[in-house]
Amino acid sequence: QLGPRNKKRLPPGPKGLPILGHLHLLGKNPHRDLYRLARKHGPIMGLRLGFVPAVVVSSPAAAELVLKTHDLIFASRPTNEASVYVAYDQRNLAFGPYGPFWRDMRKLCTLKLLSNLKISQFQHMRRAEVGLLVTYLKRAAESREAVDLSARVAELNGDMNFLMVFGKKYSTMEEKGFKDVNRESMEIVGKFNLADYFQYVGVLNLQGLHGKMKRLSKVFDGILEEIIDDHMKKQQQQRVADLVDTMMEIMESGQAGFEFDRRHVKAVLLDMIIAGMDTSSTALEWAMSELMKNPATVSSKASSYQKKARVIVNVWAIGRDPDVWANPDSFTPERFVGSEIDLRGRHFELLPFGSGRRGCPGLQLGLTVVKLVLAQLVHCFDWELPDGMMASEVDMAENFGLVTARAEPLVAVPICRLHKY
Ligand code: HEM
């Protein structure tokens, strides 16, 4: 058990510095740094991030221990300051501490917001939006124009996501400054905040993030209030109920069966926006980048580690574990032909959606969107690199964050494959 006697126990790891612990070993791309360290120190490695002890897990077997065998112990996310300010004091799903509230909220989101029924109700809208992108690309193809595929895919996904959540497009939100606060809050949530690693630093407010977070949460709140008010004024007649309609109905009818007020509605709306936006579009831009680049195309001791230790499952490292994957860095989709490994969290070699209790509840929606858009992009067009660029020159550098996207946008020239569609 996790008694005080085990207080100092952490699995072996590199030598750390006083106060900083191992923070100095982590640079711009911590997933890569942790991968390198794990190759040396093993798949269950102990680190100290400032005052926060951490266990870094870097193999499928070790991930299974955390996400399946001992999942109950690890079912809460560490509290971070952003979740307190921006997510209505953790009244949301993504940051809600594990317990009865989180379980109720998870059930509500899975059954009412992200169910297969709800996903299929928006099929028509998704087709129409993808149709608009295809039309745009067709025009670009006619003039052999290079397009910023990263931006176009992000905008498409943003529009689809917002239409489902708010009933209006992301691209029409510009005048309200929503895009800016959205971008800023993604940055803050993904950003390294000293107070999350040094208990006593928080009160000193060294990075000035408190003020920023407060300001952002105020702007978000104003926009969300306005959107909810608009929905309440307009009767939802024949249109498909968006997520604001659905949640307000649940709130007003009292059918949630647990404390569920306007703050919860707003917190979950932010979840759906933040978790649903860049995830699917980033998967798409990486998939397209790989296609452009490749035209041919443990131990059961886990439960006795120090209480409050933070567990980091480095899914990036696991997906590249040379003991599990042959040529892990090569893009070889054929490796999955005839393989039983899928990506839904049952096979710990591949965990794009996480696994277990906290695994992604938007998996079905994410996969639906990624498959639909990718299929259209490669079915309707061949793609060429601009200005005679070689496939080998496609820059594959990433930008670490809440979602690890491409550092540079993917720019390519569409060539129509079909005469009529
Ligand atoms: C390709 C698209 C997507 C990917 C790769 C993805 C990936 C993930 C991952 C890795 C997690 C964390 C899992 C864990 O901690 O074990 C997560 C959590 C979550 N995702 Fe997704 N996601 C995607 C799309 C979506 C969409 C479309 C939505 C909703 C609109 C969504 C909503 C959420 C929520 C609410 C959580 C937090 C769940 C909780 O803490 O209980 N995701 N996702």
List pLDDT tens digits, range 252-269: 999 899 999 999 999 999
- To the nearest whole number, what is the mean pLDDT of the chain? 88
Ligand 1 centroid–CA 31 distance in Å is: 18
What is the per-residue pLDDT for 6?
Answer: 45
- 407: which 2 tokens? 């550092």
- Rounded to whole angstroms, the Cα distance separating 300 from 197 reads 27
Please give the pLDDT value at position 240: 84
Helices 209-233 & 178-190 angle (0-180, nearest 10): 140
Q: Are 109 and 93 in contact (CB under 8 A)?
A: yes
Q: How far apart are CA 96 and CA 225, in angstroms?
A: 21
Q: Ligand 1 centre from 267 Cα, in Å?
A: 15
β-strand pairing of 381-384 with 411-416? antiparallel
| Residue-level pLDDT at 203 | 55
Closest ligand 1 atom to 365 CA: 27
- The pTM of the full predicted model, rounded to 2 decimals, is 0.91
Residue-wise pLDDT tens digits, 226-246: 999 999 888 766 678 999 999
Q: How many CA atoms lie within 13 A of 173 on its CB side?
A: 24
3-class secondary-structure state, position 382:
strand
How far is 347 from 334, CA to CA, in rounded Å?
A: 18
Atom of ligand 1 nearest to the CA of 67: 16
d(CA 288, CA 410): 8
Ligand 1 centroid–CA 400 distance in Å is 17
Residues within a 6 A CB radius of ligand 1: 93-94, 106, 114, 271-272, 275-276, 279-280, 283, 352-354, 358-362, 365-366, 370
Per-residue pLDDT of the chain (421 residues; tens, 9 = 90+): 333 444 467 899 999 999 889 999 998 888 999 999 999 999 999 999 888 899 999 999 999 999 999 999 999 988 777 778 878 888 999 989 999 999 999 999 999 999 999 999 999 999 999 999 999 999 999 999 999 999 999 999 999 999 999 999 988 876 567 777 777 777 776 666 656 666 555 555 656 677 888 888 888 899 899 999 999 888 766 678 999 999 999 999 998 999 999 999 999 999 999 888 889 999 999 999 999 999 876 444 444 556 678 899 999 999 999 999 999 999 999 999 999 999 999 999 999 999 999 999 999 999 999 999 999 999 999 999 999 999 999 999 998 888 889 999 999 999 998 765 4
Nearest to 32 by CA among 10, 14, 12, 56: 56
| Three-state DSSP class for residue 289 | helix
**282-332: per-residue pLDDT in tens?**
999 999 999 999 987 644 444 455 667 889 999 999 999 999 999 999 999
How would you classify the pairing of strands 147-148 and 52-57?
Answer: unpaired
CA distances (Å), 141 to each of 59, 107, 147, in order?
Answer: 44, 45, 9
